[in-house]
Amino acid sequence: MNETVLQIRRAEAADAGPIVALAARFADVRPDWRSDEEVVSGTERTLQDAVREMRDDRAVFVAVDGDAFAGFVFVVTETDFFTGDPHAHISEIAVVRDGLGAGRALMAAAESWAAARGSRYVSLHVTAKNARARALYERFGYELEHSRLTKVLEP
């Protein structure tokens, strides 16, 4: 029986390909009014920029099992609307395959990064269609703060 031994590390330029390749996963749970192309191309652009331009106010972590890429998390610093204090926000997270523990390990890395930077909390968005991820985040201690409603305007 093969035992998964995940390592979590900061992303490097060579990780851009496998990270960006996971952008298509976000289209699986997109709102009906957004196209696959819109979601995938926007996610690819954001992730390419994140890996290419490392900054102090954000981080990309990758999970690897030996030489095999297992997933990534992109965490950024945002400003709390109510207090003006900085907090960490998980912008994107995706794994190659469920069940390896990569998601849990990547969430822990993002939370550790946030705590080390003095963040009081970590936030994230999850689409309404992604009930499985929502349930996972709730098991990790995340709770619904508010819902965002969108209305598409006809031209």
6-139 CATH, one of 3.40.630.30, 2.60.120.10, 3.40.50.2300, 3.30.70.660: 3.40.630.30
pTM of the model: 0.91
For 36-58, give the secondary structure using H, E and C: HHHHHHHHHHHHHHHHHCCCCCE
What is the distance between the alpha carbons of residues 26 and 29, in angstroms, rounded to a whole number? 6
| pLDDT (average), residues 13-36 | 91
Domain ranges of the chain: 6-139
pLDDT tens for 83-118 read: 999 999 999 999 999 888 999 999 999 999 999 999
pLDDT of residue 75: 98
Task: Tell me: pLDDT of 7 over 60.
Answer: yes
